[in-house]
Amino acid sequence: MTGRRGFFIGACGAALLASGTAGAQQPRSTIPRIGFLAGRLNPSVAGFDEGLRELGWIDGRTIRIERRIADGSNEQSRIMATELVALGVDAIYVTATQAVAAVRETTAATPVVFSMLADPVELGWETNFARPAGNLTGIAGVATSEIAGKRIELLLAAVPGARRMGLLYTPRMLTAELAVRGSEAAARMLDIQLRVLPIERDAAPEPAFAELSAWGAQALVVTQSQLLATQPLQGRIVALAAAARLPTIYGEPDWVDFDGLMTYVPDAHDMGRRAAWFMDRILRGAKPADLPIERPARIQLRVNLRAARAIGLALPPSFLARADEVIE
Query: What is the H or E stretch that residue 288 is in?
Result: none
Number of folded domains in the chain?
2
Q: Is 49 exposed, middle or buried (0-12, 13-18, 19+ CB in 10 A)?
A: buried
| Whether 152 and 35 share a structural domain | no
Mean pLDDT: which of 191-195, 248-252, 263-267 is highest? 191-195
Average pLDDT value for residue range 55-79: 92
24 has a pLDDT exceeding 50: no
- Measured distance CA(77)–CA(73) in Å, rounded: 6
Q: Are residues 167 and 240 in the same domain?
A: yes
Q: Please report which helix (H) or strand (E) contains residue 307, including its range.
A: helix 305-310
Q: Domain with 9 in it: what CATH number?
A: 3.40.50.2300
In terms of domains, do 194 and 317 share one? yes
- Evaluate if residue 148 carries a pLDDT over 50: yes
pLDDT attached to residue 327: 94
In a 13 Å sphere around the CA of 316, the CA atoms on its Cβ side amount to 11
pLDDT category at 271 given cuts 50, 70, 90 is very high
CA angle 253, 257, 259 (to 5 degrees): 115
Residues 102 and 166 placed together within one structural domain of the fold: no
Same structural domain for residues 155 and 258?
Answer: yes
Whether residue 8 is predicted with pLDDT greater than 70 in this model: the reply is no
- Among 237, 261, 257, 236, smallest CA distance to 247 is for 261
Query: Both 230 and 284 in a single domain?
Result: no
- pLDDT at residue 303 above 70? yes
pLDDT bucket at 227, cuts 50 / 70 / 90:
low
Instruction: Please give the Cα distance from 64 to 49 (Å, whole number).
Output: 12
Q: How many Cβ atoms are within 10 Å of 297's Cβ, its own excluded?
A: 12
Q: Are residues 169 and 259 in the same domain?
A: yes
Domain enclosing residue 129, as ranges: 2-142+267-298
Pick from 206, 217, 213: nearest CA to 239: 206
Q: Let me know whether 185 and 50 are in one domain.
A: no
Q: Does 22 share its domain with 159? A: no
pTM: 0.84
